[in-house]
Amino acid sequence: MACKTTPGEWKYAIEMLKRSALPKMEEEVFPLLKFSYENLPITMKSCLLYCCMYPEDYCIPRKRLTEYWFCEGLLNEFDRISEAQMQGDYIISSLLSACLLERGGEIGGEDCVKMHDVIRDMALWITCELEASENIFFVKTGVQLLEEPDVKAWEDAKRMSVMKNKIEVLRGTPNCPNLKTLFLRENKLEVISDGFFHFIPHLTVLNLSENRTIRALPKGISQLISLECLDLSYTGIAELPIELKSLKKLKMLELSYMYYLRKIPPHLITSFSKLQIFRMNHCQITEDYPEEDNVLNGNNEHLIEELKSLQHLNIIRIWIKGMSALERFLSFHLFRSYTQALQLSNFRESNVFNVLCLENMEHLEELCFQYCESIEEMKMEKLSTSINYAPCFHTLNRVSILKCNKLTDVSWLILAPNLRFLSIYGCAKMEEILSEEKLGEVTDVVGIPNPKPFMKLETLDLGNLPELKRIYWDTLPFPCLKTICLWWGCPELEKLPLNSHTTEGNQVTILGREDWWATIEWENEATAGDAFLPSFRTVFK
The per-residue pLDDT for range 412-423, each reduced to its tens digit, is: 999 999 999 999
Q: What value does the mean pLDDT of the chain take?
A: 88
pTM score of the predicted model: 0.89
3-state secondary structure labels for all residues of 412-480 = HHHHCCCCCEEEEECCCCCCECCCHHHHCCHHHHHCCCCCCCCCCCCEEEEECCCCCCECCCCCCCCCC
**Residues present in the chain in total:** 541
Q: What is the pLDDT of residue 424?
A: 96
Could you please state the CATH topology (level 3) that the domain comprising 22-120 is classified under. Answer: Arc Repressor Mutant, subunit A (1.10.10)
Rg (CA), the chain: 26
Q: What is the pLDDT of residue 488?
A: 82
Q: What is the pLDDT of residue 35?
A: 76
- Tell me the mean pLDDT in the region 425-448: 82
Segment (H or E) for 483: strand 483-486
Q: Rounded to whole angstroms, how far apart are CA atoms 60 and 103?
A: 10
- Tell me the mean pLDDT in the region 102-129: 89
Confidence of residue 452 (pLDDT cuts 50, 70, 90): confident
Q: What is the pLDDT of residue 397?
A: 94
Confidence of residue 429 (pLDDT cuts 50, 70, 90): very high
Q: What is the pLDDT of residue 344?
A: 93
The beta strand positions in 309-451, using DSSP E, are 315-321, 339-345, 352-354, 366-370, 377-379, 398-402, 421-425
pLDDT of residue 57 exceeding 80: yes
Confidence of residue 443 (pLDDT cuts 50, 70, 90): low
Q: What is the pLDDT of residue 444?
A: 63
pLDDT of residue 77 exceeding 80: yes
Q: What is the pLDDT of residue 134?
A: 65
pLDDT of residue 386 exceeding 50: no
- Give the pLDDT confidence of 329-361 residue by residue, as tens digits: 999 999 999 999 999 998 888 899 999 999 889
Segment (H or E) for 517: helix 514-519
Counting other chains too, the contacts that 503-508 makes at CB distance below 8 Å and 24 or more residues apart are 503/478, 503/479, 505/479, 506/478, 506/479, 506/480, 506/481, 506/482, 507/482, 507/535, 508/478, 508/481, 508/482, 508/483, 508/484, 508/532, 508/535
Q: What is the pLDDT of residue 516?
A: 85
CA distances from 276 to 202, 254, 279, 306 (A): 20, 11, 10, 14
Confidence of residue 461 (pLDDT cuts 50, 70, 90): very high
pLDDT of residue 277 exceeding 80: yes
pLDDT of residue 196 exceeding 70: yes
Q: What is the pLDDT of residue 135?
A: 67
Q: Rounded to whole angstroms, how far apart are CA atoms 77 and 94?
A: 17
Domain boundaries, the chain: 22-120, 347-381+392-540
Of the listed ranges 171-175, 186-190, 382-386, 507-511, the one predicted with least confidence: 382-386
- Tell me the mean pLDDT in the region 118-126: 90
Q: Residue 231's beta-bridge partner residues?
A: 207, 254
Q: Residue 399's beta-bridge partner residues?
A: 367, 422
- Tell me the mean pLDDT in the region 382-390: 58
DSSP state of 403: S
Q: Are 299 and 361 in contact (CB under 8 A)?
A: no
- Phi and psi at residue 91, to the nearest 5°: -65, -45
Instruction: Measure the N-to-C terminal CA separation of the chain; round to a whole number of Å.
Output: 40
Confidence of residue 126 (pLDDT cuts 50, 70, 90): confident
- Tell me the mean pLDDT in the region 286-315: 85
